[in-house]
Chains A and B, each alone.
Chain A
């Protein structure tokens, strides 16, 4: 009788152990997926902010290559504003042009040349 109890207890303990192990693995897998997604996002952001026009164009042409591109692909000294034209936001310009404070700060004062005409119109 005691042997049976011992065997039954052993089976229950094993089942509990297997169950705990399964939950732990599932949780670990979820965290891994999130980490991978975050890494992909980081890399995408890095693409937008740090890669050259040529690199981005090649990525756009072959999306599967995105995962292979990292911020270390382009030396920092090669980065310039001229190399960042790839954006597809049709209202990109509005970010500045609806911002009165920003426009007031950067609008060219030389535009405000007073007319010397007399008797206009």
Chain B
């Protein structure tokens, strides 16, 4: 996505915005500043992004949404701290917090960065002339941040790889699956469904792949769940394979993210050593009632022992406490994939399983629970059934 010119970022639609609901509010009520023909004076104490204080500027009219914002991953970035706490020791937290403030905090998305402007992470800028959008733009908001993996996969930007069928055929946007409640951190009340004694045994979720899958494929594809669609694959694997194992194609993995401060501009920056396409099946590291699968797709995440090396040596002392290959849900779903062609596309095919030889030696310890020790045997080898090598 090409960055906006400075003037484009602040150009207001003079025909539409003044008549909109938010256009009835005086500019200074949200943005501060003073009325003056001089630019610098007019921008005195300017608040470019008022919704950074959502309670003050949004909460008066949208109290129910602001009330749950603290639970939204877009707001609290809790996922970062889940893994950083696990990979580090408390003594190193001050240095990590400094790095976090310089590099990771920019992923924080305010109300306005979804509903009126592009995210600051990509330079900001008004989207529709300051007209607030109830539904954010898929390409200018969602994939502006979630671009190099999800966006490129979903929109089919990798050469020779189809876009996700939900986009290609259904023209579905992110919000069709990831709905308002999820975006706003309104996760509902566990006790609404778990009112009995079991309530005391349910640990609060500490990972985005904990708890009920939401969204989940079966919400729309119910016939697959009940196993009466006549598909042999679904009958045999419906419970032990994540849907994406059969219905995804190659997706992005990254290595060696490291952060620093630019010598030339003084701005925080980051770089990854490499980014490449993978398709690998691993053992499910998060097996649960809601994700009972034996096998899931895994991708290499960009974290590295020296990710925060600029801020100090050995800040990720407990680097191996978490795997570097992670349960993933690629957004490039297809009805037909190489895996759906034959049984032996997967059975007896070591190329598509995360085996020890595909893991960096210094990361073996961290990934033991995902590494596939024994490749599922070839159906053809077991039965001599030529069908196994053709369409089931």
Indicate if the CB atoms of B151 and A121 lie closer than 8 Å: yes
Interface residues in B37-79 (C-beta closer than 8 Å to A) = 37-39, 41-42, 44
Tell me the count of chain B residues lying within 8 A, CB to CB, of chain A. Answer: 53
Indicate if the CB atoms of A94 and B27 lie closer than 8 Å: yes
Rounded to whole Å, the gap between the CB of B138 and the closest CB of chain A is 14
Q: At the interface, yes or no: B104 with Cβ under 8 Å from chain A? A: no
Indicate if the CB atoms of A111 and B146 lie closer than 8 Å: no
Give the distance in Å from the alpha carbon of A12 to the alpha carbon of B262 in the complex: 100
Q: At the interface, yes or no: B359 with Cβ under 8 Å from chain A? A: no
- Please name all residues of chain A whose beta carbon is closer than 8 Å to the beta carbon of B23 when the two chains form the complex: 91
- The interface bits of chain A over 85-119 (1 if a CB of B lies within 8 angstroms of the residue's CB, else 0) are 11101111110111010011011110111111111
A91-B27, A112-B3, A112-B5 as given contacts; A119 in contact with B254, CB under 8 Å: yes
Q: At the interface, yes or no: A66 with Cβ under 8 Å from chain B? A: no
Q: Flag the segment in B11-19, B80-88, B305-313 that touches A.
A: B11-19
Q: At the interface, yes or no: A81 with Cβ under 8 Å from chain B? A: yes
Q: At the interface, yes or no: B269 with Cβ under 8 Å from chain A? A: yes
Indicate if the CB atoms of A119 and B123 lie closer than 8 Å: no
Pick from B17, B28, B272: contact of A119, CB under 8 Å? B272
Indicate if the CB atoms of B11 and A118 lie closer than 8 Å: no
- The interface bits of chain B over 1-41 (1 if a CB of A lies within 8 angstroms of the residue's CB, else 0) are 00101110111111001100001111110010111111101
Q: At the interface, yes or no: B267 with Cβ under 8 Å from chain A? A: yes
Rounded to whole Å, the gap between the CB of A83 and the closest CB of chain B is 9
Interface residues in B311-353 (C-beta closer than 8 Å to A) = none
- Please name all residues of chain B whose beta carbon is closer than 8 Å to the beta carbon of A109 when the two chains form the complex: 6
Q: At the interface, yes or no: B364 with Cβ under 8 Å from chain A? A: no
Identify the closest chain B residue to A113 (Cβ).
B265
Q: At the interface, yes or no: B234 with Cβ under 8 Å from chain A? A: no
Indicate if the CB atoms of A121 and B148 lie closer than 8 Å: yes
Tell me the count of chain A residues lying within 8 A, CB to CB, of chain B. Answer: 33
Give the distance in Å from the alpha carbon of A98 to the alpha carbon of B254 in the complex: 42
Interface residues in A22-77 (C-beta closer than 8 Å to B) = none
- Please name all residues of chain B whose beta carbon is closer than 8 Å to the beta carbon of A84 when the two chains form the complex: 34-36, 41
Indicate if the CB atoms of A121 and B10 lie closer than 8 Å: no
Indicate if the CB atoms of B26 and A90 lie closer than 8 Å: yes
Q: At the interface, yes or no: A82 with Cβ under 8 Å from chain B? A: yes
Q: At the interface, yes or no: B275 with Cβ under 8 Å from chain A? A: yes
Indicate if the CB atoms of B11 and A103 lie closer than 8 Å: yes
- The interface bits of chain B over 106-147 (1 if a CB of A lies within 8 angstroms of the residue's CB, else 0) are 000000000000000111000000100000000000011111
A81-B36, A81-B41, A121-B146 as given contacts; A104 in contact with B7, CB under 8 Å: yes
Indicate if the CB atoms of A118 and B270 lie closer than 8 Å: yes
Q: At the interface, yes or no: A3 with Cβ under 8 Å from chain B? A: no
Pick from A98, A100, A106, A117: contact of B271, CB under 8 Å? A117
Identify the closest chain B residue to A87 (Cβ).
B35
Interface residues in B263-277 (C-beta closer than 8 Å to A) = 264-265, 267, 269-272, 275
Indicate if the CB atoms of B9 and A94 lie closer than 8 Å: no
B-binding residues in A (CB < 8 A): 81-82, 84-87, 89-94, 96-98, 100, 103-104, 106-109, 111-121
